[in-house]
Structure 1
């Protein structure tokens, strides 16, 4: 369990003050914002929440749903993630993706863009899966005397060679990368993000954007609050998205800007543009890219967005070849005494653990063999042990966070799930100390469900 880790990616600032405002707006006839100079500070807000809402379980707990927090969770076993996902309420593990008409930025050998290089992610997916469609010629008739339309089979190979614009996240300058995969992500709710310079991007609420504050999901970046039907109620946070920038001469410092036409020897630096509006568009087909190389991002409609990752099983092959530590890829419990849910006590010995490690290694070798024989990753991974380590992003609000802790911090929960909750609670305590303290004293490990 020593490898387990949880980090906070993004969180609503002053969460207890947000809950306090929601409590008062529920019962106040006047607009609470007008008296904001008289709002209690964050610490005092927490005390008032406990006194007037949580203590004695007064009122409804909808006010706790406004503050949002997103965690990056690492190296937990797959079985634990399956437990966490079960009976969850208001906890998101969704994939990120973009609408079909999103324009992807490609450049030529000199780093220049042109109309000929413009294409949408929907068109890319069509070419990736079917090849580039030929233009029908009236002089060549096909079936039923209609113009013949066929596909060029080199579509995928050609796309892989195209220069994709990506951002060097260390210095803020654009470089080039290559596409590794084009992914259809299904039909999902899509929102349109509009910037001050009139750029727009149609994406899911959890697609990650590169903002002036770093990587954030779209919903977290703007503090998006929606109604039950998905429509936008309001944006609660200011946000600026990093976009295509002005040309900067390569022989100048990055802070010395020169407005000039991009040419060879010229760098392009990203710059922030403010989000002015977000609107719900309904459910649409969505897509994403996987980018090869060091920088896993690309430019969509002029904005820097994060790419998706597709399972490849390379870490399994690395274990088989001795290139990666087996316990970095698979989780096995430490040697020691354990108790199951039926009360049976047992000892997991060093000899048993060594045998299990050997079994994991043999499974990796069999996986590598099947891949070399041509099986797909989805087929071959059925051979590997269930408890491969899993990394994932988890988003929730304050109320659903307590619900998750209620479910998985109880004494008979899976040990790894209990450890997961312990690490979650440490971040909960830093983020919202008064509410977290009340939770620990009144609900923690008691198998209650937050109302």
Structure 2
């Protein structure tokens, strides 16, 4: 998991002020942008929005859809992408394809890349399933799984060399090959995603994704982040 990475690509400047303007227009007679000199600063805008939109579980989330953040997510297993795209999250993804981006698999098969650069296996340790049954993932078991990844990569390389289409050859790869992707969230969608996937009983790897995403939220919209940490984080209280 030490390869997992989340980088900021772009974000709406002054997102809390953006939400404030949208909220303010909801109940203002006038054209709110004409009164811009009287708007609060970013911090105060965030405080007002939390009080009027979120505090007391008011659930007025609509104005939060105007602020957007775009992240680049790297080296996560395919299973995380499948989970991330499940449920109605209102998020846009552009995902590294295994039809056009299989060269890295061939390089791993040839020993030019570490196998774990392109395939994900959980660390050795103690785990439990969703029913609470405990088990150990040992060094010897993990070594067998790495051998399986190596054999699959070599078979993939050989199929491509024999003229097979990439979408045919990829069918023999282990499920958790690593993928990079770009994802964009509205402020509302980001917090909803955290509701879904930062639960304490969520899959380990997607919780790691949430842990790496969260500092970007704290830096970007700190008043919203502060409210969320106190009110909803890890509690699985799903947004509408």
Q: TM class by shorter-chain length?
A: over 0.9
Deviation at 1:60, TM superposition (A): 2.2
Q: Is the 8 A contact 1:16 1:42 kept in 2?
A: yes
Which one of 122, 125, 147 corresponds to residue 358 of structure 1?
147
**Given that residues 88 and 404 in structure 1 are in contact (C-alpha distance below 8 angstroms), is that contact kept between their aligned partners in structure 2?**
no
SS at match of 2:184: strand
Per-residue CA deviation, residues 235-277 of structure 1 (Å, 9 max, x unaligned), is: xxxxxxxxxxxxxxxxxxxxxxxxxxxxxxxxxxxxxxxxxxx
* Superimposed CA distance per residue, residues 320-340 of structure 1 (whole angstroms, 9 cap, x where no aligned partner): 111111010011111111111
Q: Per-residue deviation at 1:88?
A: 3.2
- What is aligned with 1:67? 67
**Contact 1:43-1:434 at 8 Å conserved across structures:** yes
Structure 2 distance, partners of 1:424, 1:373, is: 41
The DSSP-based 3-state class of the residue aligned with 1:87 is coil
For 1:319, the equivalent position in structure 2 comes to 108
Report the alpha carbon displacement of residue 58 of structure 1 after superposing the two structures with TM.
2.6
> How far does residue 310 in structure 1 lie from its aligned partner after superposition?
5.8
Question: TM-score, normalised on structure 2?
Answer: 0.96
Larger radius of gyration: 1
2:163 aligned with 1:405: no
Structure 1 runs, 4 residues or longer, greater than 4 Å off: none
Contact kept? 1:408, 1:421, Cα under 8 Å: yes
Pick one of 423, 436, 443 that aligns with 2:232: 443
Partner of 1:420: 209
The two structures, once aligned, show a CA RMSD in angstroms of 1.5
How far did residue 73 of structure 1 move? 0.5
Contact map agreement 2:98 2:170 (CA 8 A) in 1: no
Give the number of the structure with larger relative contact order, counting CA–CA contacts within 8 Å between residues 6 or more apart.
Answer: 2
Q: Give the TM-score of the pair, scaled to structure 1.
A: 0.52
Matched, 1:388 2:197: no
The answer for the alignment partner of 2:165 in structure 1 is: 376
Q: CA deviation at 1:386?
A: 0.6
Corresponding residue for 2:40? 40
C-alpha contact (below 8 Å) 2:54/2:60 kept by paired residues: no
Which residue of 2 is the match for residue 367 of structure 1? 156
**Distance in 1 separating the partners of 2:225 and 2:40:** 19
Query: Are 2:14 and 1:14 equivalent residues in the alignment?
Result: yes
Separation in 1 of the partners of 2:141 and 2:167? 29
SS in 1 for 2:144: helix
Partners of 2:60 and 2:175 in 1: CA distance:
41
Q: Can you list the C-alpha shifts for 1:384-425, whole angstroms capped at 9, x where unaligned?
A: 101000100001100011111111111221100001011111
Structure 1 residue 85 and structure 2 residue 65: aligned? no
Question: Residue 54 of structure 2 aligns with which residue?
Answer: 54
Q: More helix per residue: 1 or 2?
A: 2
Paired with 2:113 and 2:98, the residues of 1 have a C-alpha distance of 20
- Structure 1 Cα separation of the partners of residues 168 and 143 of structure 2: 27
Supply the distance in 1 between the matched residues of 2:99 and 2:85 (Cα, whole angstroms).
20
Are 2:127 and 1:341 aligned?
no
How far does residue 344 in structure 1 lie from its aligned partner after superposition? 0.8
For 2:218 and 2:130, how far apart are their aligned partners in 1?
29
Note if 1:430 corresponds to 2:224: no
Structure 1 residue 309, shift from structure 2 partner: 10
Q: Which has the higher strand share?
A: 1
Q: Distance in 1 between matches of 2:189 and 2:154?
A: 41
Query: CA–CA distance in 1 between the matches of 2:148 and 2:214?
Result: 35
Which runs of 5 or more structure 2 residues have no equivalent in the other structure? none
CA-CA distance at 1:3 after TM superposition: 0.6
Q: Tell me the CA shift for residue 434 of structure 1.
A: 0.5
